[in-house]
Structure 1
Amino acid sequence: MQFTITGIWEHTGPFARMIIFALGAMSITSLVVIAERIMVYRKNRSESRSFATKMGAILAKDDLNTAANAKTGKDVGHLGRVINSGLTAYRVSSSNKDVAVESVARALERQAQREVQSLKRGLGVLATVGSTAPFVGLLGTTMGIVNAFSLMAEANSGGLNTISSGIAEALITTAFGLLVAIPAVMAYNFLQGWVDARSVDISESSNEFLDMVARHLGGLHS
Structure 2
Amino acid sequence: MQFTLTELWGHMGLFAKLIVFALAIMSVASLIVLGERLVVSFLSRAASRAFAARVGPMLARGELEGAWTAARPGGESGYLGRVIGAGLAAYASSAPSRLPAQGHERDGVFESVSRALERQAQREVLSLKRGYGLLATVGSTAPFVGLLGTVMGIVTAFQQMAASGSGGLGTVSAGIAEALITTAFGLIVAIPAVMGYNYLQGWVEARAIDISESSNELLDVVAKRLDGRLAPAAEEAA
TM interval, short-chain normalised: over 0.9
1:178 and 2:193 equivalent? Answer: no
Residue 83 (structure 1) aligned with residue 92 (structure 2): no
**Aligned position for 2:22:** 22
Alignment of 1:24-39 (within 5 A): 24-39=24-39
| Aligned counterparts of 1:220 and 1:8: Cα–Cα separation in 2 | 77
Shift of 1:220: 7.0
1:198 alignment partner in structure 2: 207
**Alignment partner, residue 61 of structure 1:** 61
Q: CA RMSD in A?
A: 1.6
* Preserved contact between residue 88 and residue 113 of structure 2 (Cα < 8 Å): yes
Provide the rounded CA distance (Å) in 2 between the counterparts of 1:204 and 1:169: 54
With the length of structure 2 as denominator, give the TM-score of the two structures. 0.89
Amino acid at match of 1:29: A
Distance 1:52 1:221, change over 3 A: closer
CA distance, structure 2, for counterparts of residue 76 and residue 205 of structure 1: 14
Question: How far 1:94 sits from its partner (Å)?
Answer: 5.1
The list of structure 1 runs, each at least 4 consecutive aligned residues, that deviate by more than 6 angstroms after superposition, is none
Preserved contact between residue 127 and residue 184 of structure 1 (Cα < 8 Å): yes
Which residues of structure 1 form unaligned runs of 5+? none
1:149-187 Cα offsets, whole Å, 9 max, x none, are 111111111111111111111010000000000010000
% same residue: 63
In structure 2, the CA distance between the partners of 1:220 and 1:99, relative to structure 1 (3 Å rule), is farther
Residue number in structure 2 paired with 1:163: 172
CA–CA distance in 1 between the matches of 2:60 and 2:49? 16
What number of residue pairs does the alignment pair up?
222
3-state secondary structure, aligned to 2:62: coil
Determine if contact 1:97/1:221 at 8 Å carries over to the other structure.
no
Contact 2:62 2:230 in 1 (8 A): no
Q: Distance in 2 between matches of 1:50 and 1:8?
A: 54
Q: 1:151 aligns with which of 136, 156, 160?
A: 160
Change over 3 Å in CA distance of 1:105–1:187 after alignment to 2: same
Which deviates further from its counterpart, 83-92 or 153-162? 153-162
| TM-score relative to the length of structure 1 | 0.96
1:5 is aligned to 5
SS of corresponding position for 2:94: coil
How far off is 1:65 after superposition? 2.0
1:84-163 aligned within 5 A: 84-93=85-94, 95=96, 96-163=105-172
